[in-house]
Each structure stands twice: as C-alpha cells, then as structure tokens.
Amino acid sequence: MIEMEEESVRKTILHLTCCLLPKPNRDSMEAICLFLRWVASFSHVDEETGSKMDLHNLATVITPNILYSKSKDPTKDESFLAIEAVMGLLEYQDDFCVVSVLVQFIQMNIMLLIPFGLTPYLFVDSSLFWMF
C-alpha cells in the first residue's frame, strides 16, 4: 500500500477505485458500509449506554477480513494503512456511491477504444488523457 499525506488525494483515489468496481459489487459495498455506519451510530449514546464500536473501531475489526497482505510477514504500517482505507470507505460512503458521468462513459466504451490503440489514463483531478 502507498501512504498519501494529502486527504483530498486519498479520497479521490479511493472514490475512483470504488467507481471501477462492477455495479453489483459496488451496491454490496454500499449496503455493508451503510449498515456499519448505522451500527456506529449507537456508539457512545450517552455516558451509560451505547457500544464502544464507533467507525474507527469497526474499521479496525473489519479490515483484516477484507484487506490483508499476501505476505507471510505483513508490517504494522500496512495494517494501519488498510484500516485508514476502510475508515475512508465508511466515512465517505455517501460520496463514493455516486459514479461520475465520465467514469460511466469510460466503463461503457473502454473495450471499443482499446483496439484502436487508445489507452485512457485517469488523473487524480478526474481529467482524462489519451495516449496513442
């Protein structure tokens, strides 16, 4: 995993990654994230009631099951980065479930463009650059 300092860049890359998922997978991810956000809404209701499972704690528990290293000896830094990625999915799910028209166009037409020697590159600011 790559550590990125700037929050906006991290959020944009995570959003574009979610947009590239097939629609059924994206819909499943949205349902799971919304459910986990609902569960987290019951954390710390008041001083005496509520669970301690806020979004960060849920991300910490869920992450090893969905993002894990294939290496036999994963470093601690990788696990913390994975937790931050899942935390971002949970925090920004409302934004991530919206797929931009540009991404939809690319998904629908990408197979038509490759035989002509065009290779699309998406940049962080969602601009599109074509290489011949």
- 77-115: per-residue pLDDT in tens? 577 888 888 999 999 888 887 777 766 676 666 666 566
pTM of the model: 0.66
Kindly list the structural domains of the chain, giving each domain's residue range(s) and its CATH number in brackets, ordered by start. Answer: 7-99 (1.10.555.10), 104-132 (no CATH)
Task: Return the pLDDT at 132.
Answer: 38
- 37-71: per-residue pLDDT in tens? 999 998 877 777 778 899 999 999 999 888 877 76
Q: 3-class secondary structure for the chain?
A: CCCCCCHHHHHHHHHHHHHCCCHHHHHHHHHHHHHHHHHHCCECCCCCCCECCCHHHHHHHHHHHHCCCCCCCCCHHHHHHHHHHHHHHHHCHHHHCCCCHHHHHHHHHHHHHHHHCCEEEECCCCCEEEEC
